[in-house]
Amino acid sequence: MVHAIVAAEDKTFFENAGIDFRGLVRSVLSYATGRTERISGTSTITQQLIRNVFLTNERSLDRKVKEMYLSFLITSKYSKEKILEIYLNKISFGSNAYGVEQASRTFF
């Protein structure tokens, strides 16, 4: 499960400081050159956790800055394993199943 989530959501999870600066720059450049209509795909697992637990899904620069700041703080305070554990127990897997245990009960 861990390998699948990291591969799908944030390939640099174990190397980044809660923020994927390379992905952020790539997304901004794609937007600036007109290849995409909006900036997207820049959230790390840590940022997704912060957004889902502490913030809203509102699309704003203010929320994104808060998300990045809090992600950096959490990464400096907790291990990657702990962050991933919390993430796997809080995220939605669809069909109102939040967390791995509930998802396994719902789908299997």
- For residue 40, pLDDT over 70 is answered with no
pTM: 0.84
Q: How far apart are CA 34 and CA 41, in angstroms?
A: 16
Percent of the chain with pLDDT over 70: 96
Each residue of 84-102: pLDDT tens digit?
Answer: 999 999 999 999 999 999 9
Q: Are 47 and 36 in contact (CB under 8 A)?
A: no
Each residue of 3-29: pLDDT tens digit?
Answer: 999 999 999 999 999 998 888 888 778
Q: What is the pLDDT of residue 55?
A: 92
What are 75's two structure tokens? 């990464």
Q: How many secondary structure helices (H) and strands (E) does the chain include?
A: 6, 0
